[in-house]
Amino acid sequence: MCEEPNAFGIDKIASAYDFSETIARLSSAIQSKGATIFAQIDHQAQAKQQQLELAPTQLLIFGHPKIGTALINSASSTGLDLPLKALVSQDCHGQVWVYLNQPDFLQLRHGFDDELLTPLRGLHSLLSHSIH
């Protein structure tokens, strides 16, 4: 099945680049703001190890201590969604998609202070623009 339902609180953004270039551009954008990529999980490689098929799918796990600390200080439960994540997946038509949690959804979910939305929105925008 190639089509999937919309997920609440998640932005699904079409990339203008192939899979590898999308990963590279997201990584570069994350690091350009002083954030750290803590892990890059290759779901496809893990599936292959079990002789299972999966389209190219990788998860970037990243964060910035200044932003994350402020979020957790404002609402401890935010730590459930930190570090931040970007999922990159290629569909059956070859289109590459990036999935990001919506900053406003994270605030709704955890109730952190309004002023903390600004850096989250900025990072979300930077990532979105890096793949267009």
Q: How far apart are the first and last CA of the chain?
A: 26
Whether pLDDT at 1 is above 70: no
How do residues 15-58 score in pLDDT, each as one tens digit? Answer: 999 999 999 999 999 999 999 999 999 999 999 999 999 999 99
Q: Is the peptide bond before 83 cis (omega within 30 degrees of 0)?
A: yes
pTM: 0.94
User: Taking a C-beta distance cutoff of 8 angstroms, is the pair 58, 88 a contact?
Assistant: yes
pLDDT digits (tens, 9 = 90+) for 68-126: 999 999 999 999 999 999 999 999 999 999 999 999 999 999 999 999 999 999 999 99
Strand order in the sheet with 10-14: 10-14, 96-101, 84-90, 57-63, 36-42
Q: Can you name the CATH fold of 10-130? A: TATA-Binding Protein (3.30.310)
Provide the CA 17 distance to its chain's centre, in angstroms. 16
Residue 5's pLDDT band (cuts 50, 70, 90): confident
